[in-house]
C-alpha cells in the first residue's frame, strides 16, 4: 500500500482525498499556494508545504515544484484530484519517471482518451457509438467547414484537450464558423496549452449521461452505473443525479457495456468516467468524451452504490486488484447533488468569492456536504468558484428532491452571493420534477427562474 501521498490540488477535492487517506492509514502532504495558506485541508494534512504564489501557473500547475516537493517529503504517491494537472499526460509520465505513483492512468492512456479527436477514432474501432463529425482534428476554418457541410449544421467546435465547458462553440451556419473557430482555438490554447480542435454534429436538446468506471492493472474493468448531468449552464454542470430516470434497464445495460468497452479500448487503470449524449427519442446514444480522473459529481455514485471511489483509486494505484465485480454493483435508491458556486446568477453568473462571514450546512439522514469552507475563511478569487456540494440520498427520486429542497432551505452562507436559490427554484420546476430536463433546460427556463427569484427578494425586502 501507499505510505505517503502528495495532494496536488485544493478545495473540497483535496479535503476528500485527505480524509480517504487518513481512513486508510496513509500520510498526506498538502501542496498549497500562498492564497490557500489557511485552507482546511492544509490545516488537517500530516504535513503542508507552500508550493508557490496564488497564481495557479506558479503553484498548482508548477510541475517541477510539485515533483521536487514530493521527493523532499518522501512521498511515494501523488493524487492530482480533478482539474489542474489531473489529465496532463506529460505530468503523469514525469511522476512515474521520478519513482512516484501517479494516482490515475498512465500518460499514454491519458493521451488516447484525453485527446477528444483521437478518442473518437478509438471508440469507433471499439464499437462504441460516436456522434458524426470530423475524422480527427481540424486545423483550419476551411477544414472545419468541410466537415460541417458533410454532417450538417448545427455543429460544435470543441477543443481536443478540453473540459469544463471551455473551448466549445456552437455554429448554426457557415457564416458563424470562422470567427467561432478563432475564438475556440484561442480559448483552448489559453486554458489547456493546446489549440487542437475537432468538430461534431450537435445533438439538439440531448440528455447528458455518464458512466463511472473502475479498472485495475490486472485487466478487471467494471462500471458503477450512470449519472444524469443534464442541468448545465454553458456546458458546466449544476445538478447531477443517479441513476438517470430516463434510462430503461435494457438501455442502461447497453450503455454500461459500451462504457466498459471504451475503458478497455484505451487500457484504462483507475477511476474514470465515460460520457454519452442520449438523443430525444431515448434510443440512440453517442460517445462524447472520457474523463481520466475523479469527477466533481462522484459522490452521487458513492451514495447509490456504497463504493468509496477515492479509496478504490488508492487501492488500484497500490497495485491491488478490484475487490468488487460487476455482479456486486447494485443501485440503491436515488442520489442528487447541487453544486453551490460563489456566483451571482442575476448578473450573468459573475464569480464573486470572498470571506465567509457565517456558515451553516444542512444535516440529517441521507445528507452529505462536501466543502472546504468554514466560518471566517476566505474563498480565493484565483480558482474555481465551487463553494460546496450538497448531496442527498433517498429511496426514490421524489423523496430525494424533497430532501434536497429541505437541505437548501437550511443551507446558509453569508459573505457573498451563491447560486443556491437558483438550484432551489429548479427543484420546484415541473419539467425537472417530471424528469424531463435536457441540456437545454437552463437556457430555456433561466429568465423565468431569475424573475421568480427577483420577486421573492423584493417581498423579503419589504417584509
Enumerate domains of the chain plus CATH numbers. Answer: 4-103 (3.40.50.20), 132-201 (3.30.1490.20), 207-462 (3.30.470.20)
Q: Which residue has the cell 470562422?
A: 178
- Give Rg (Cα) of the chain: 21
Distance CA 423, CA 418 (A): 10
The b-or-e profile of 391-417 (16+ CB within 10 A means b, else e) is bbbbeebeebbebbeebbeebebebbb
The string of DSSP codes covering 430-447 is HHHHTT---TTHHHHHHH
Does residue 20 have a pLDDT over 80? Answer: yes
What are the angstrom distances between the C-alpha of 331 and each of 104, 324, 391?
A: 25, 14, 16
The predicted pLDDT at position 27 comes to: 98
DSSP-based three-state secondary structure for 74:
coil
- Residue recorded with cell 449521461: 209
**Residue 87 reports pLDDT greater than 70:** yes
Tell me: the pLDDT tens digits for 246-266? 999 999 999 999 999 999 999
d(CA 211, CA 263): 11
Strand-pairing partners, residue 278, are 207, 285
Average pLDDT over residues 413-428: 96
Closest CA to 131 of 265, 284, 300: 284
Q: pTM of the prediction?
A: 0.91
Q: What's the average model confidence in pLDDT over 20-32?
A: 98
Distance CA 339, CA 320 (A): 33
CA distance 448 to 184: 30
Pairing state of beta strands 334-341 and 285-291?
Answer: unpaired
Buried/exposed code over 32-67 (b: 16+ C-beta within 10 A; e: otherwise): bbebbeebbbbeebeebebbbebebeebbbbeebbb
Annotate 324-349 with DSSP letters as a single string.
--GGG----SEEEEEEEESEEGGGTT
Residue 374 has pLDDT above 80, yes or no: yes
Higher pLDDT, 190 or 328: 328
Asked whether residue 454 carries a pLDDT value surpassing 80, the answer given is no
Residue 163 clears pLDDT 90, i.e. is over it: no
Is the model more confident about 410 or about 233? 410
Q: Work out the average pLDDT over 51-78.
A: 98
| Confidence check: pLDDT of 238 > 90 | yes
pLDDT tens, 102-148?
A: 999 999 999 999 777 788 889 999 999 998 899 889 999 999 999 99
Q: What whole-number distance in Å separates Cα of residue 256 and Cα of residue 210?
A: 9
Catalytic site positions: 293
Omega before 207 cis (within 30°)? Answer: no
Q: What is the pLDDT of residue 164?
A: 67
What is the Cα–Cα distance from 360 to 337, expressed in whole angstroms? 17
108-122, 195-209, 436-450: least confident range: 108-122
> How many C-alpha atoms does 14 have within 13 Å on its Cβ side?
28
- CB-CB neighbours of 140 under 10 Å: 12
H/E element holding 272?
Answer: strand 270-278
How far is residue 378's CA from residue 34's CA, in Å, rounded to a whole number?
12
CB 62 within 8 A of CB 84: no
Q: Which residues contact 152 (CB under 8 A, 6 or more apart)?
A: 201
Q: What is the pLDDT, as a whole number, of residue 455?
A: 75
226: exposed, middle or buried (Cβ count in 10 Å: 0-12, 13-18, 19+): buried
With a cut of 70, say whether residue 463 has pLDDT above it.
no
> What is the distance, to the nearest Å, from the Cα of residue 8 to the centroid of all Cα atoms in its chain?
17
Report d(CA 271, CA 292) in Å as an integer.
7
- The sign one gets for the Cα dihedral 315, 319, 323, 329 is positive
Q: What is the rounded CA–CA span in Å between residue 159 and residue 124?
A: 19
Q: What is the pLDDT of residues 388-417, one digit of tens each?
A: 999 999 999 999 999 999 999 999 999 999
pLDDT of residue 115: 79
Helix (H, G, I), strand (E, B), or coil: what is residue 80?
coil
The residue with cell 431569475 is 450
Write out pLDDT tens, residues 294-329.
999 999 999 999 999 999 999 999 999 999 999 999
Q: Are 338 and 362 in contact (CB under 8 A)?
A: no
Check pLDDT > 80 for residue 90.
yes
Of 142, 136, 258, nearest to 200 by C-alpha is: 136
Amino acid at each position: 500500500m501507499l505510505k505517503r501521498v502528495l495532494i496536488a490540488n485544493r478545495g473540497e477535492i483535496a479535503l476528500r482525498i485527505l480524509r480517504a487517506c487518513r481512513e486508510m492509514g496513509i500520510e498526506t502532504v498538502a501542496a498549497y499556494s500562498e492564497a490557500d495558506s489557511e485552507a482546511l485541508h492544509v490545516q488537517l494534512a500530516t504535513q503542508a508545504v507552500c508550493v508557490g504564489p496564488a497564481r495557479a501557473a506558479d503553484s498548482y500547475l508548477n510541475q517541477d515544484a510539485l515533483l521536487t516537493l514530493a521527493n523532499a517529503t518522501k512521498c511515494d504517491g501523488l493524487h492530482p484530484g480533478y482539474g489542474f494537472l489531473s489529465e496532463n499526460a506529460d505530468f503523469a509520465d514525469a511522476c512515474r519517471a521520478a519513482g512516484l505513483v501517479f494516482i490515475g492512468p498512465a500518460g499514454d492512456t491519458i493521451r488516447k482518451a484525453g485527446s477528444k479527436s483521437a478518442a473518437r477514432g478509438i471508440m469507433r474501432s471499439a464499437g462504441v457509438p460516436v456522434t458524426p463529425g470530423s475524422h480527427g482534428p481540424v486545423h483550419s476554418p476551411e477544414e472545419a467547414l468541410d466537415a460541417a457541410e458533410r454532417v450538417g449544421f448545427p455543429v460544435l467546435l470543441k477543443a481536443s484537450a478540453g473540459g469544463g465547458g471551455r473551448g466549445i462553440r456552437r455554429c448554426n451556419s457557415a457564416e458563424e464558423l470562422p470567427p467561432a473557430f478563432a475564438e475556440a482555438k484561442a480559448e483552448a490554447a489559453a486554458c489547456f496549452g493546446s489549440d487542437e480542435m475537432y468538430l461534431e454534429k450537435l445533438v439538439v436538446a440531448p440528455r447528458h449521461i455518464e458512466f463511472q468506471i473502475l479498472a485495475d492493472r490486472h485487466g478487471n474493468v467494471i462500471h458503477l452505473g450512470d449519472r444524469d448531468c443534464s442541468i448545465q449552464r454553458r456546458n458546466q454542470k449544476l445538478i447531477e443525479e443517479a441513476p438517470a430516470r430516463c434510462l430503461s434497464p435494457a438501455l442502461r445495460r447497453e450503455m454500461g457495456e459500451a462504457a466498459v468497452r471504451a475503458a478497455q479500448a484505451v487500457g484504462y487503470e483507475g477511476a474514470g468516467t465515460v460520457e454519452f449524449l442520449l438523443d430525444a427519442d431515448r434510443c440512440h446514444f453517442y460517445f462524447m468524451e472520457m474523463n481520466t480522473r475523479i469527477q466533481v459529481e462522484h459522490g452521487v455514485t458513492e451514495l447509490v452504490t456504497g463504493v468509496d471511489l477515492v479509496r478504490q483509486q488508492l487501492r488500484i494505484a497500490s497495485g491491488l486488484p478490484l475487490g468488487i465485480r460487476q455482479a456486486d454493483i447494485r443501485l440503491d435508491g436515488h442520489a442528487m447533488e447541487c453544486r453551490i458556486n460563489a456566483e451571482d446568477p442575476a448578473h450573468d453568473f459573475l464569480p464573486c468569492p470572498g470571506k465567509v462571514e457565517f456558515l451553516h450546512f444542512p444535516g440529517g439522514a441521507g445528507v452529505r456536504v462536501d466543502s472546504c469552507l468554514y466560518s471566517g475563511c476566505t474563498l480565493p478569487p484565483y480558482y474555481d468558484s465551487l463553494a460546496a456540494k450538497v448531496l442527498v440520498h433517498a429511496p426514490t427520486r421524489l423523496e430525494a428532491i424533497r430532501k434536497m429542497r429541505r437541505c437548501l432551505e437550511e443551507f446558509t452562507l453569508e459573505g457573498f452571493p451563491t447560486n443556491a436559490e437558483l438550484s432551489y427554484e429548479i427543484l420546484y420546476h415541473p419539467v425537472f420534477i417530471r424528469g424531463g430536463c435536457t441540456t437545454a433546460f437552463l437556457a430555456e427556463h433561466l429568465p423565468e427562474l431569475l424573475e421568480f427569484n427577483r420577486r421573492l427578494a423584493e417581498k423579503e425586502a419589504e417584509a
